[in-house]
Amino acid sequence: MKITDVRAHHIRIPYDAGVASFRQGASAITALDMVIVEVTTDAGLTGWGDAFAYVCPRTTRSAVEEMIAPHARGLEVPDAAGIPAVMEQIQRNLHLFGRYGITMFAISGLDIALWDLAAKIKGVPVYRLLGETRRPAIPAYASLLRIGSPDNIASECRKALALGYGAIKLHETTAPAVFAAREAIGPGIPLMVDMNCPLSGEQAIAFAGTCADAQPMFLEEPVWPPEDFAALAEVRRKGGLGVAAGENACTEYQFRQMMNAGAVSHAQPSVIKVGGITEFLKVAALADGLGVKIVPHSPYFGPGLLATLHLLAVRDDGFVEMFYLKREACLWGGRADVDATGHVAVPTGAGLGYEPDRGVMERYRVA
């Protein structure tokens, strides 16, 4: 079976986040931009992937269609054992364009689609190709967007718990915000604090001390730049709290540097950034060997979310991250949403388990 084409679809789905906001630098993000990768074959099977695209969808789409597609067309579709070699060769072919960022986002999209195809050829869910199935449903945490007001934070935390979520993540940078959340959810609910890289190492150590009594599970990316692993390690040693990072890291190699530096207690590979399922598996194996917990970065709504569920299905631990917002439409007909118990069911169909709704794709496609 051969690959006949690789296409990238830019999908933009509006959402309502209520009192929260979502920004990337100077850009306000008011819709969920996705680049969905479609890999077609001469046997009629289609594989679906996902390439990171917040704020940069046109760039990611171009990378898939102009950089990745020419290397994939005409290839024999590999089985699960053969995917790593294919992806390593593509990484080698494209290394002049950078080992991190857009290039790896596009590579991630192809990799996920190949795993989808490999499982469909076998007639099994992706998780069956990854190892022993340990969990049919994954506990979710509510990933709140930036809110600011402690009163509003407390209110949104209580609403999330009422919907069944069993853990909360903030995107806040002040101690009053952290304590407001802890008071609202009580002592037994895991609380995570994503800071998005605002502080120096010394500032982060001081912030950790200020927040210690709120007992956050970890501070996520407290330091700028995110690849300053020595500074992260210092925060972890002196701050007294767990430290998480990895959503901005690509490839197992960069995670190895991070973990060897002692920078993190929790590693956060993003399957649509790190290099796909293939690189995620390498990162997870590395983390397991070094005693680092895996907490994937997964605030996504396309095939990347499904891939994350399959990866977590073969692990005993780890939450799935779910953005706490109301989207206007869903590619999966609501089947990948959080249930009343705070879990997301792992799809059991062949491949990633669900096919995207073509009607939704057409309605929200950006030309």
Q: Mind giving me the DSSP string for 229-286? A: HHHHHHHHHHH-SEEEE-TT--HHHHHHHHHHTT--SEE---TTTTTHHHHHHHHHHH
Whether residue 186 sits in one domain with residue 104: no
User: Is 329 among the domain residues?
Assistant: yes
- Please report whether residue 114 resides in a domain: yes
Q: Are residues 114 and 172 in the same domain?
A: no
227 and 260 co-located in one domain: yes
Q: Are residues 177 and 203 in the same domain?
A: yes
Are 337 and 301 within one domain? yes
- Give how many domains the chain has, as a whole number: 2
Burial of 188 (0-12, 13-18, 19+ CB in 10 A): exposed
Residues 202 and 284 in one domain: yes
**Is residue 110 located within the same domain as residue 229?**
no
Residue 57 belongs to domain with CATH number: 3.30.390.10
Please give the residue range of the domain that contains residue 267: 129-357
Instruction: Looking at the structure, tell me whether residues 150 and 192 fall in a common domain.
Output: yes
Of 99, 126, 153, the domain-final residue: 126
Which residues on adjacent β-strands are paired with residue 21?
Answer: 146
Q: Is residue 364 a part of any domain in this protein?
A: no
Statement to judge: residues 308 and 337 lie in one domain: yes
CATH code: domain of residue 308: 3.20.20.120
In a domain, 100, yes or no: yes
Residue 138 sits in the same domain as residue 109: no
Same domain, 152 and 221: yes
Q: What's the Cα-to-Cα distance from 329 to each of 300, 324, 326, 362, rounded to whole Å?
A: 13, 14, 9, 12
Contact of 352 with 345, CB cutoff 8 Å? no
Q: Is residue 363 situated within a structural domain?
A: no
Is residue 321 within 8 Å of residue 246, measured between CB atoms?
no
Neighbours of 365 (CB within 10 A): 12
Of 126, 152, 172, the one marking the end of a domain is: 126
Burial environment of residue 289 by CB neighbours within 10 A (0 to 12, 13 to 18, 19 or more) = exposed
CA dist 272 and 109 (Å) reads 6
The CA-based diameter of the chain, rounded to the nearest angstrom, is 59
Q: What is the pLDDT of residue 20?
A: 86
Report yes or no: 170 and 153 within 8 Å, Cβ to Cβ.
Answer: yes
List the chain pLDDT tens, one digit each, 367 residues: 999 999 999 999 999 988 887 776 656 788 999 999 999 999 999 999 999 999 899 999 999 999 999 999 999 999 999 999 999 999 999 999 989 999 999 999 999 999 999 999 999 999 999 999 999 999 999 999 999 999 999 999 999 999 999 999 999 999 999 999 999 999 999 999 999 999 999 999 999 999 999 999 999 999 999 999 999 999 999 999 999 999 999 999 999 999 999 999 999 999 999 999 999 999 999 999 999 999 999 999 999 999 999 999 999 999 999 999 999 999 999 999 999 999 999 999 999 999 999 999 999 999 8
Report the predicted TM-score, pTM, of the whole model to 2 decimal places.
Answer: 0.97
**Contacts of residue 95, Cβ cutoff 8 Å, sequence gap at least 6:** none
Whether 362 is covered by a domain: the verdict is no
Residue partners of 106: CB distance under 8 A and separation at least 6: 51, 60, 63, 64, 67, 68
The span from the first CA to the last CA of the chain, in angstroms, equals 30
Nearest of 262, 238, 258, 236 to residue 247 by alpha carbon: 258
Q: Looking at the structure, do residues 182 and 51 belong to the same domain, yes or no?
A: no
Query: CA-CA distance, 310 to 327, in Å (whole number)?
Result: 23
Q: Where does a domain end: 61, 95, 126?
A: 126
149, part of any domain: yes
| Domain annotation covers residue 15 | yes
